[in-house]
Chains A and B, each alone.
Chain A
Amino acid sequence: MFAYTVRRLLQMIPLLFAASVVIYALLALQPGDPLDELRRQNPRMTAEQFEALKRAYGLDQPLHIRYFKWLNRALRGDLGYSRTYGIPAAEYVFVQRLPKTLILSGLALTLALVVAIPVGVFSAVRQYSLADYAITFLSFVGFSMPVFFLGILLLYLFAIVLPESIPGFPRFPTGGVPGVLWEDVRAGAVSLWEFLGQWAWHLVLPVLTLSALQMAEWTRFMRASLLEVLSQDYIRTARAKGLAERVVLYKHALRNALIPIVTLVGLAIPGVLGGATITETIFSYPGMGRAIFDALVEKDYNVAMAALAFLALMTALFNLLADLAYAVVDPRIRYS
């Protein structure tokens, strides 16, 4: 087991290296230069002046040189500066965007889990009942609905239609983040409750939109997993032994049924870190998904590389963790 872990960790190094090469190449291969826009806007710039600008941004050197330079600095911890924002890319990605994404996607994931597990269990226990059919139907609706359709619908409904038709209905915010800074709370201008309250208010719609899909999927998965476990022989034995149904369920069945869920959650975490581009677009939420997309479109290399390399690292790491967790929880699995 230990040997396996070490081997996988070592294998991760060339994997990440290769991934960073590919990502950098992809970024650079995109047509267009970040300076093209500038040149178009100012036709009076001469060729030498343009060359000088190119030199200033290091864009006059060939691809592999630029990559190695980036790698040199990155390994020393310096991820460069964001060309569009002027601040260090690391600060932009990890201080400004990542926490906000963790809040949004983390809440969505937690909500999905908190709802999916009990509902899935309920659905499995009451299989073929009316409640089961209803829950199944809602789950299917949940993961058949395109995310952006749902988002726009919710936005339209809760921010325009309902507040207008129902008097006194609170008007939900149309997205973004609240106007209170953490500094305000520290300075005492705004109470902690109000700060949290504002954030909660702004997050309701995006979190609902984002968690719908996962909630539906995991409910189904939980149900299927528990059903499979319940049909096993050892459950029949436990029942035959005369154990109360509740004990059978929670002590024996549920723990085994949760095993594959663990893997699923583990594999979903890198997705959390990567942000949800579409939801963030609809709700104007400044998270990682939007940051990556904007950086790609504007060719802000440093930000894109910092974010994507981080995501690659997290994905590889959590894949490994998920595999290990599976092995730990299920003693039948053996890695050599």
Chain B
Amino acid sequence: MATATASPKPRTFFSLFWRRLRRHKMAMASLVVIVLLVLMALFAPWIAPYDPTAQPTGEDVGAYYFLPPSPEHPLGTDDLGRDVLSRIIYGSRISLLVGFAVALSSVIIGTLMGTLAGYYAGRPLRFYLGPLRREKEGFYPWSFALWRVFSWFLYYGVLYLALSIAWALAKDGIQAGSPGSYLGFGLTLALVLWAAWFGLRGEIRLDLDVAISRLIDFMLTIPTLPLLLVLSALLRDPEVAVGRWAQGVFGDAASVFIIITILVFFGWLGTARLVRGSILSLREMDYATAAQALGATDFRIMFRHLVPNTMAPLIVQATLQVGQAILVEAALSFLGFGIQPPVATWGNMLTNAQEYIFTAPWLALPPGFMIFITVLAFNYLGDGLRDALDPRSRL
């Protein structure tokens, strides 16, 4: 009864992509490794033979320190007699959490900023200020009047704030008597006068591309190390609101939150640049023009049409960034600014092991190896994804 002609299997994008990925052997192996790692992290309490923070008790606790691998402790014990295998298993939770959180957040923020920058490149937004300007064009034509009034208040409010700050600085400066501060005062005054006049009949052309690109450049010129040190100290300070909130919500794991924040702070820059480049070329595409002709809002064009077409390199970037984040977390721990004990991460286990490298050299191998394997797996997977998603590669 069966007919000879079977209906062709639907060839969705995903099935095509999957078939191509399957041919990249190292990427598949990496995928398996990653899945195993995630499972290990998820089921840590059931897999780990001991509590990762459990220290031995009794008379001679010192006898349990720095034990080499044995049947009871397959990876030995560390400087406080804790089981290394259990700490590795629990450590995977933090390391993977940091990696995924940083990659995801960086990609989201980076995509947002990059899309805005790319889409509005060369097409500045116009904001009209003040009551003395007569044009009818505006960003939101249907809330035109409201916007004008609001912008007026906003503008002069900011101006007043800037004025008071400048005056406070200038006052001190004049007292100190350095010529530079006289100059500064003079410049500020001129700036303020110009800004006041501007507010009455000016138009602000906000070139989002320039703004965001310059912001990216600026953040790249700020050296990461001092920023890390300062942020790290500030966010830990119980006086600072963020620090207190972090302590309250996360307790011991507050430093994890802090590290994630810091890494995301710099992590979105690369993605933004990448996305900007893609969007720049994609917005000239016919379907984008068609959508615009059909009256779609900018927002819809950007996020419904353009961004999905940038997904390929984004996914690759995100995958690579997971590995990067794990490496940076380990490096921070090495310099003393990472995640604090008793939370066990591969990074701080490695740093600790380095301290005792002459007492128990084998302690450095498990965390170092795990970091290496995880990062390797993510890098290979990213490479495989890149090959699978690139129509021109020969998979």
Task: Tell me if B176 counts as interface (CB < 8 A to partner A).
Answer: yes
B379 touches A308 (CB 8 A): no
A146 touches B392 (CB 8 A): no
Name A147's contact: one of B26, B214, B331 (CB within 8 Å): B331
A316 touches B217 (CB 8 A): yes
User: Cβ of B323: which chain A residues have Cβ within 8 Å of it?
Assistant: 144
Q: Whose C-beta in chain A lies nearest to the C-beta of B368?
A: A149
Q: Is the interface of B mostly helix, strand, loop or mixed?
A: helix
A22 to B179, CA, bound (A): 22
A143 touches B230 (CB 8 A): no
Task: Tell me if A72 counts as interface (CB < 8 A to partner B).
Answer: yes
Q: Whose C-beta in chain A lies nearest to the C-beta of B218?
A: A15
A143 touches B371 (CB 8 A): no
| Closest-CB distance, A217 to chain B (whole angstroms) | 10
Candidate in A65, A68, A312 with the most chain B CB atoms within 10 angstroms = A68
A26 touches B357 (CB 8 A): no
| Closest-CB distance, A319 to chain B (whole angstroms) | 6
**Total cross-chain contacts (CB, 8 A):** 125
User: Cβ of B354: which chain A residues have Cβ within 8 Å of it?
Assistant: 148, 152
A26 touches B226 (CB 8 A): yes
Identify the stretch in A27-35, A43-51, A96-104, A172-180 within 8 Å (CB) of chain B at 4 or more residues. Answer: A27-35
Contact with B along A287-327 (1 / 0, CB 8 A): 00000110011000000100010011001100100000000
Name A71's contact: one of B180, B223, B233, B361 (CB within 8 Å): B180
Task: Tell me if A42 counts as interface (CB < 8 A to partner B).
Answer: no
Task: Tell me if A262 counts as interface (CB < 8 A to partner B).
Answer: no
Task: Tell me if B360 counts as interface (CB < 8 A to partner A).
Answer: no
A30 touches B172 (CB 8 A): no
Range of interface residues on A (Cβ < 8 Å): 35 or more
User: Cβ of B334: which chain A residues have Cβ within 8 Å of it?
Assistant: 148, 278
User: Cβ of B393: which chain A residues have Cβ within 8 Å of it?
Assistant: 227
| Closest-CB distance, B215 to chain A (whole angstroms) | 10
Contact with B along A130-161 (1 / 0, CB 8 A): 00000011001101111111001000100000
| Closest-CB distance, B173 to chain A (whole angstroms) | 6
Q: Whose C-beta in chain B lies nearest to the C-beta of A317?
A: B221
User: Cβ of B222: which chain A residues have Cβ within 8 Å of it?
Assistant: 19, 22-23, 312
Task: Tell me if B178 counts as interface (CB < 8 A to partner A).
Answer: yes
Task: Tell me if A206 counts as interface (CB < 8 A to partner B).
Answer: no
A152 touches B357 (CB 8 A): yes
B172 touches A144 (CB 8 A): no
User: Cβ of A278: which chain B residues have Cβ within 8 Å of it?
Assistant: 331, 334-335
Q: Whose C-beta in chain B lies nearest to the C-beta of A312?
A: B221
Task: Tell me if A106 counts as interface (CB < 8 A to partner B).
Answer: no
Task: Tell me if B227 counts as interface (CB < 8 A to partner A).
Answer: yes
Task: Tell me if A165 counts as interface (CB < 8 A to partner B).
Answer: no
Task: Tell me if B327 counts as interface (CB < 8 A to partner A).
Answer: yes
8 shortest interchain CB distances as A-B pairs = A144-B375, A144-B376, A312-B221, A72-B180, A149-B368, A315-B221, A26-B230, A26-B226
Please report B residues at the A interface, Cβ cutoff 8 Å. 26, 169, 172-173, 176, 178-181, 184, 214, 217-218, 220-223, 225-227, 229-230, 233-234, 237, 323, 327, 330-331, 334-335, 350, 354, 357, 361, 364, 368, 371-373, 375-376, 379-380, 383, 392-393
Please report A residues at the B interface, Cβ cutoff 8 Å. 11, 15-16, 18-19, 22-23, 26-27, 29-31, 61-62, 64-65, 68-69, 71-72, 136-137, 140-141, 143-149, 152, 156, 220, 227-228, 231, 274, 277-278, 281, 292-293, 296-297, 304, 308, 311-312, 315-316, 319
